Amino acid sequence: MRFTEYFAEVRRRPDRAIIRDQWIEAAIRSPLRQQIQRNGRIRKWVRIPGNEERYLCVVLLEDGVTIHNAFLDRRFKP
């Protein structure tokens, strides 16, 4: 996985440390939903395995490969 320095820093936060690599990979590979932002970044959502009510949002740079952010999105509605 390729990621930005920003993501490397943010991932050290306790609320982000629980995010597993396999969840990020699942979001990139087969997202539930995908959205292109105005700035060209790509948002992809995936349901967290074993928890039907939690979703992970992964934000990729315009290249579609580099991870810029990943967070549990409490506002996402499938």
pLDDT mean for each 10 residues of the chain (78 residues) = 95 92 96 97 94 90 97 92
Three-state secondary-structure class, residue 69: strand
pLDDT of residue 53: 83
pLDDT of residue 36: 98
Q: CA 52: distance to chain centroid?
A: 17
